[in-house]
A and B are shown apart, each in its own frame.
Chain A
Amino acid sequence: MRILETEHLTREFGGVIAVNDVDFHVEKGLVTGLIGPNGAGKTTLFNQITGVDKPTSGRIIFDGRDITGLPAWKISRLGIARTFQNIRLYKELTVVENVMMGLHFKVGSDPFRHRFQQAVKSYIFASRENREVYRRAMEWLSFFEMEEHAQDFAGSLPYGKQRELEIARALAAEPKLLFLDEPAAGMNPSETAHLMQVVAKIRQLGVTVVLIEHDMKLVMNICDSITVLNFGVKIAEGTPNEIKHDKGVIEAYLGREEEDE
């Protein structure tokens, strides 16, 4: 079953077509990789789907619902979470507070709905609610084996840990679909290995994952399906094995890298 589908998705930036008529689809429960040379339009495609930017034309269907052009907060509330290439944590807050932030504004729970009852309830049960949220946040941290960093400032964590924290916070909101934009960028090999285990664990939770990644070993190892973009156009899709042997991909992407070396 397809949880996400784009139809003829196009995004132009003043004459430059960053994403060109792309039909991208994601199967529920699987890990989908999105690869392509720099400037292929991968992040632009992510931005269209998560509402950070609006497409020029085309449609985006998530879970049977047209979400084209909805604002980012609404899309996140419908169950799509994401991380960024450049980490976006609340750096002044502690690690556990960052995860609590994901829990407070969970999918489906609107801080503005039932204003009055919510306000009264969240006041009366504030300590209980906070204890519960704290406990759940710590559970997520232990899922990522980060409990010992719970009280550190998010900004003080090593780079690899910050990336994992961003994933933990995104997961805490219990999304149906998780987008990871270059999760292994800047990680050392042991951090990358740990990340691979983490993604495998997320897959087991039943969360559908889409990731942009340049680390081919990681992509080939953990993805069930791969889509390749080049100059904004989808040039291939299939299993890692199919992609590895796809002529067009080798020419456009892998081939070019070989020439460089």
Chain B
Amino acid sequence: MSTLTLYMQYIVNGLTLGAIYSLIALGYTMVYGILKFINFAHGDILMVGAFIGLLVYTALTGDAAPGAWTLSAFFIAMLVSMIACAILGMLIERIAYKPLRNANRLAPLLSAIGVSFILSNGAAWIFGTQSRRFPYPFENDPIHIGSITITPHQIVVIVVSVAMMLLLTFFVNRTRMGKAMRATSLDQSTSQLMGINVNRVISLTFAIGSALAAVGGILAAFDFRVYPSMGTMTGLKAFVAAVIGGIGNIQGAMIGGVLLGILEAVGAPLLHIPNGMKDTVAFAVLIIVLLVKPDGILGKNEREKV
């Protein structure tokens, strides 16, 4: 295989990985956009989403062979998991963050780290620490396009992610609730006077972010399997993606995720980084971005007052 096609292959793999990062990065960025706060429990929500998806999926399909039914069961499981995580996200906000909204900025951050531990340890307690396989709901025979190989799994990841991002873009830009959300991210107290129920906007933001994390968790579960600490590294990298794109910016999170996925998939072999050290790429990229363009790719520069 020529080097060129090899790298084309890495890019396809990176695209898949990046789509998952994007979905998860959206939750970080939306919450930051409105509350100026990093929800460090977000990564663990994706783990909960993956577990719920797996449980629902296995309960529905049992040992059924991949086919039309398993594929529909997969999407039902995804939907159930999205709804459950949306509710979980809203509950976490209500219980752990809302009472701290007027406190020192460090307080909700610590509270988020606490929630993160509760979720991952709670999952370890309930499900055990061993990792579980998420069975493919379809035959995962690779498809060859020229000399590039793409699996149906990769196609599903990309199609589902793109659909989710289009849906979110539509919601934020075209609906009144989306407008209320954008207004709130610009200025909370002013929006309140415009008649916007800011608490409801915040709840909704957590619900949407968590539902997207659930999708990301399930899509990630195919390759990374399902285990209680799965959210930590994936969540952290999605956070890096959000920062690369410009935290607080929805398009930025989408671009940042895809870019990080590709950089990771291409960078590791290019720089001969051994498999076990692959994660360093993401954090090296983070450091470079923070040094060169701290606002991220699409981040707005704070306009200085003259």
A217 touches B (CB below 8 Å): no
In chain B, what residue has the closest Cβ to A81?
Answer: B193
Interface string of B176-206 (1 = CB under 8 A from A): 1101100100110110111111101000000
Set of chain A residues within 8 Å of B176, measured between Cβ atoms: 104-105, 111, 118-119, 122
- Cβ 8 A contact of A76, one of B179, B183, B187, B194: B194
Partner of A173, one of B183, B186, B195: B195
Of the candidates A105, A119, A123, A155, the one whose C-beta lies within 8 Å of that of B195 is A105
A93 and B182 alpha carbons, distance in the complex (Å): 11
The residue on B at minimum CB distance from A113 is: B176
Contact of B170 among A50, A71, A104, A123 (CB under 8 A): A123
Would you list which residues of chain A between 131 and 183 have a CB under 8 Å from chain B? 155, 173
A187 is an interface residue with CB less than 8 A from chain B: no
Check if A93 sits within 8 Å of B186, measured CB to CB.
yes
Contact B192 A76 (CB under 8 A): yes
Q: Are B183 and A72 within 8 A (Cβ)?
A: no
Who on chain B is nearest to A92 by CB?
B186
What bracket does the count of chain A residues touching chain B fall in? 20 to 34
Across the interface, which residues of B come within 8 angstroms of A123, CB to CB? Answer: 170, 174-175
User: Is A30 in the interface zone, CB < 8 Å from B?
Assistant: no
Q: Assess the A101–B174 pair: CB atoms within 8 A.
A: no
Partner of A88, one of B174, B175, B193, B303: B193
A112 and B197 contact, Cβ closer than 8 Å, known pairs A93-B186, A118-B175: yes
Task: Find out whether the CB atom of A82 lies under 8 angstroms from the CB atom of B179.
Answer: no
Q: Contact check, B196 vs A73: say whether CB atoms are below 8 A apart.
A: yes
Considering the complex, give the chain A residue whose CB is closest to the CB of B181: A111
Give the complex CA separation of A190 and B189 in angstroms: 31
Are A90 and B193 interface neighbours, CB within 8 A?
no
Minimum distance in angstroms from A217 CB to a CB of chain B: 29
Contact of B197 among A71, A155, A173 (CB under 8 A): A71
Q: Does A77 contact B (CB under 8 A)?
A: yes
Give the contacts of B143-184 with A (CB-CB under 8 A): 170-171, 174-177, 179-180, 183
* A200 in the interface (beta carbon within 8 A): no
Selected from A92, A118, A155, A173, the residue in CB contact (under 8 A) with B194 is: A173
A216 an interface residue at 8 Å Cβ cutoff? Answer: no
Given A122-B176, A123-B174, check contact A88 B192 (CB 8 Å): no
Bound-state CA distance A106–B195 (Å) is 8
Give the docked Cα–Cα distance between A111 and B196 (Å).
8
Residues of A within 8 A of B190 (CB): 88-90
Cα separation A115 to B176 with both chains bound (whole Å) = 9
The verdict on A112 contacting B186 (CB below 8 Å), with A72-B192, A76-B194, A77-B195 known, is no
